[in-house]
Chain A
Amino acid sequence: MSTATRPMNDEEVFSEMNKMVAFIRQEALEKAREIKVKADEEFNIEKAKLVRQESINVEEQFQRKVKQAEVKQRILTSTLINKSRLQVLQARQEMLDSVFSEAQEAMKSVPQDEAKYLELLVDLCLQAFVQLNDETVNVRGRKADTELIKSAVEKAVVVYKEKTGKTVRATVVETSPLHDSVLGGVRVSALNDRISVDNTLQARLDLSSDRMLPQLRNILFGQSPSRKFFN
């Protein structure tokens, strides 16, 4: 290498310069590489942080949506269950109604069998007398049944006397007969018509319809599946 004893010629100057340039370039690249490494690390850290943050967010949103869907599902199920219950009830009610209307129809034929109808009237009057427990009673019935009622009443009074020992004076009131829609039977009243026992067929039909609902249910639809006590 030439020392400082003589000045360098052009070639040497050039080569020295190139060497220096190369050296500086190398140093610069090394520093640039260090900076790049640090930048990459910061990038990685930042990216990881962001990814973690966002994935937490996404997770939360997802959970929320799942919960909403569940709630919606539950609401839907319960609505449908309710609806189906109502439908079942409606169908049952229709069945009952049809049973009652058939019974009503059948009832109309009761007064046609005169012998049996008379027996029935006697029993009805008797029951009414017993219930009223009064000495004077008025008996009313349909216009068509007047004769039958009169004979029934007579018999009933006798039986009443036998059974209870009490006398009852029963008057058949013809002036205000019952409407035909009662289908038969008697209405017995006492105390100036202030208390009455309605033993008309319609009334008894209504009563039994109401009272016998449990048995009707059992016959029509079977026992309830969740019933536990049968005594």
Chain B
Amino acid sequence: MTVPDVPGAMVNNQFFEEFTDKVRVKPIPWEGYSRAGLISGDELRELKEYQHLAHSSTSGGRDLAEYMGLLVRLTEKLSSIDALQYLLVQIDDLLGDSCGGEQLQRCMFRCLEKKDDYLGLKACKILVGSIAGCSAQAEAEQREFPFARLFGYLERCMRSELTSVVDVAVQVMQSALRSRHARMVLFGEDCAPCLTQLVGVLRRTQQPLTGAAGSAGSRTRGVVAVPQTQYEVVFCLWLLSFERPIAAALDRRLDVIALTAEIARSAVKEKVVRIVVALWANLLRLAAPANVPAMLVGRVPACLATLGAGRSFKDEDLRADLKQLSEDLAEHTGVMTTWDEYLNELASGKLAWSPAHRSEQFWKLHIRRMDENDHRVVRQLADLLTEPTASETALAVACHDLSQYVRFNPDGKRLLARIGAKARVMALMTTSKCPDVRYEALLCVQQIMLNAWRN
């Protein structure tokens, strides 16, 4: 038995497959179209030949390829949903791994605009298949391919209520992101909603844990089978992380490390862990400075240790990756002191109540360092106060830190007033919804006001 090659566009969804089978046998009134003048007599004849060949032959690969042109032309001419579905199914069967032409791409894009989910997704699959087919040589062709349009359509699909639609959309993205140009496009300005939607699907897979118990009852939107969807989305993220600029900015933008850490901790299936570890390995390899802080805050090393010790994985690559990742991470964190950890926390933007924050010793020791580099740390804290996405814990901790700063460095009051942090803290004191934040802000203002007459 010959080993099959990995297809360029791989979609494995039960609903999708069943629908395809139904379409294959659905009768289409070709003669009717011919009489109505929508298709010519020649085309009808050729179509009959094709159908005869396709159904009877076992070796007709060569001949069938010639009919591709015919099928594309018919797709352009007709607009009935049934006929189009049939044609697309045939095109998909024929396409295999070869490169489609421009005309094919135009047709498919037109199909995206018809309001049929199956049609659109099938067209996407064909598009991605044709791109994958010519990926070897045609870098330039890839650059011209309008991925943005494709991703726009897929974004709409991922918001759908139907689980299989979302599933197929994610799978199409898996294949599309094989192309390097596609990755950069997805990470660009235009396709940001699509990327957010993708991560949103991943987030939704985590929610059943907090909702009602029982997986069958609370099937959340778009989640066909939790491990499979997780695998697929993280696969997409993994593909994205191969590009250096994306690896550096991915976590900042989408907070993936924390999310994937949760998933890895609770994953049952080995392949989910495998793909999450691969993602982390990429992030670390390509953009360590940007991702190490986030990894430490997300408690990744602990997670890795648990995984390494607890389960014995069957996959050798996974075991090797796990070991490698733990070592690399340990290397990066080996020389870090408490102060460095604090800087890490600050850099990742997720301040939390760690013992360091509460200890007076910590502040007394490092007060000078906060003033280094033109008061960089203080400014970072102040920026955190104004950042709209900061969590309430982070705000509270930031206020607390600033109050400690002022306490041990009286001149800090002037600095805070100068950079506008004082005003911000006062605002937080009155307007923030979280009582912790108000409390900490109050304390901070108290510190600022204390002995204010001295200045």
Q: Mark each residue of chain B from 1 to 20: 1 if its CB lies under 8 Å from any CB of chain A, else 0.
A: 00010110010100000000
Q: A29 contacts B242, CB within 8 Å?
A: no
Q: Does A30 contact B (CB under 8 A)?
A: yes
Q: Per-position contact with A for B390-418: 1 when CB-CB < 8 Å, else 0?
A: 00000000000000000000000000000
Q: A130-171 interface mask toward B, CB cutoff 8 Å, 1 = contact, 0 = none?
A: 000000000000000000000000000000000000000000
In angstroms, Cα B274 to Cα A40, docked, is 19
Would A33 and B6 count as touching, CB distance under 8 A? yes
Q: Is the CB of A33 within 8 A of B275?
A: no
Q: How far is the CA of A30 from the CA of B225 in the complex (A)?
A: 16
8 Å CB contacts to B: which residues of A112-129?
none
B77 to chain A, nearest CB (A): 36
* Shortest CB distance A26–B (Å): 6
Q: For chains A and B in complex, what number of residue pairs have CB atoms within 8 angstroms? A: 25
B278 CB contacts on chain A under 8 angstroms: 34
* Chain A residues, Cβ within 8 Å of B4: 29
CB A23 to nearest CB in B, in angstroms, measures: 10
| Distance between Cα atoms of A44 and B242 in the complex (Å) | 11
A29–B271 contact, CB under 8 A?
no
Q: For residues 10 through 65 of chain A, which have their beta carbon under 8 Å from a beta carbon of chain B?
A: 26-27, 29-34, 36-37, 40-41, 44
B89 at the interface (CB under 8 A from A): no
Which A residues lie within 8 Å of B239 (CB)? 37
Asked if B271 and A27 sit within 8 Å, CB to CB, the answer is yes
**A26: which of B12, B180, B242 is its contact (CB, 8 Å)?**
B12
Most buried by A among B6, B10, B235, B271: B6
Scoring B7, B239, B242 by chain A CB atoms within 10 A of each residue's CB, the highest score goes to B242
The answer to whether A29 and B10 have CB atoms under 8 Å apart is: yes
How many chain A residues sit at the interface, stated as a range, is 10 to 19
CA distance A27 to B228 in the complex (A): 11
Cα–Cα distance between A36 and B7 once the two chains are bound (Å)? 11
B275: chain A residues within 8 A (beta carbon): 34
Contact pattern, B 28-54, Cβ under 8 Å of A = 1, otherwise 0:
000000000000000000000000000
Interface of chain B residues 188 through 241 with chain A (CB within 8 A): 231, 235, 238-239
> Could you say which residues of chain A place their CB within 8 Å of the CB of B252?
none
Return chain A residues, CB-CB under 8 Å to B231: 30
Contact of B271 among A30, A36, A40 (CB under 8 A): A30
Q: Mark B263-274, 1 if CB is under 8 A from A, else 0.
A: 000000001001
Give A34 to B278 CA distance when docked, in angstroms: 10
Which positions 305-352 of chain B face chain A at CB distance < 8 Å? Answer: 315
- The answer to the question of B178 belonging to the interface, with a C-beta cut-off of 8 Å to chain A, is yes
**Chain B positions within 8 Å of A29 at CB level:** 4, 6-7, 10
Q: List the A side residues contacting B271 at CB < 8 Å.
A: 27, 30-31
A37 x B178 contact (CB < 8 A): yes
Point out the residues of chain B lying under 8 angstroms from A30, CB to CB: 231, 271
The chain A residue with its CB closest to the CB of B231 is A30
Identify which of residues 74-114 in chain A touch chain B, using a CB-to-CB cut-off of 8 Å: none
- Closest chain A residue, CB of each to CB of B5: A32
B97 to chain A, nearest CB (A): 12
Please determine whether A33 and B10 come into contact, CB atoms closer than 8 angstroms.
yes
CB contact list, B404-437 vs A, under 8 A: none
Q: How far is the CA of A152 from the CA of B138 in the complex (A)?
A: 110
- For B242, give the chain A residue with the smallest CB separation: A41
Cβ contacts under 8 Å, A32 to chain B = 6
- From residue A78, how far is it (CB to closest CB) to chain B in Å? 49
Q: Closest residue of chain A to B239, judged by CB?
A: A37
Interface residues of B in 174-193 (CB under 8 A from A): 178, 180
Chain B: CB-nearest residue to A30: B271
Bound Cα distance A26, B271 (Å): 12
CA distance A34 to B7 in the complex (A): 12
B139 to chain A, nearest CB (A): 11
Instruction: Report the separation of the CA atoms of residues A37 and B176 in the bound assembly, to the nearest whole angstrom.
Output: 12
Residues of B within 8 A of A36 (CB): 6
Minimum C-beta distance from B18 to chain A (A): 13
Nearest Cβ in chain A — how far from B230, in angstroms? 13
A31 to B278, CA, bound (A): 12
Considering the complex, give the chain B residue whose CB is closest to the CB of A27: B271
CB distance from B124 to the nearest CB of A (A): 18
With a CB–CB cut-off of 8 A, which chain A residues contact B178?
37, 40
Residues on B with C-beta less than 8 A from A41 are 242
Q: Please indicate the chain A residues that have their CB under 8 angstroms from the CB of B235 in the complex.
A: 34
Chain B residues with Cβ under 8 A from A27's Cβ? 271
Which B residue's beta carbon lies closest to that of A22? Answer: B12
CB distance from B134 to the nearest CB of A (A): 15
Chain A residue with minimal CB distance to B3?
A32
- B306 to nearest A CB, angstroms? 23
Residue among A27, A33, A41 facing the most chain B CB atoms (10 A cut-off): A33
Which A residue sits closest to B175, measured CB to CB?
A33
Instruction: Determine how close the nearest CB of chain B comes to the CB of A67; give it in whole angstroms.
Output: 34
Q: What residues of B have a CB within 8 angstroms of the CB of A26 in the complex?
A: 12
CA distance A215 to B4 in the complex (A): 100
- B-side residues, CB < 8 A to A, are 4, 6-7, 10, 12, 178, 180, 231, 235, 238-239, 242, 271, 274-275, 278, 315
A-B contact pairs, 20 of them (CB 8 A): A26-B12, A27-B271, A29-B4, A29-B6, A29-B7, A29-B10, A30-B231, A30-B271, A31-B271, A31-B315, A33-B6, A34-B235, A34-B274, A34-B278, A36-B6, A37-B178, A37-B238, A37-B242, A40-B178, A44-B180
Query: In the complex, given contacts A33-B6, A37-B178, what are 20 additional A-B residue pairs having Cβ atoms less than 8 angstroms apart?
Result: A26-B12, A27-B271, A29-B4, A29-B6, A29-B7, A29-B10, A30-B231, A31-B271, A31-B315, A32-B6, A33-B10, A34-B235, A34-B275, A34-B278, A36-B6, A37-B239, A37-B242, A40-B178, A41-B242, A44-B180
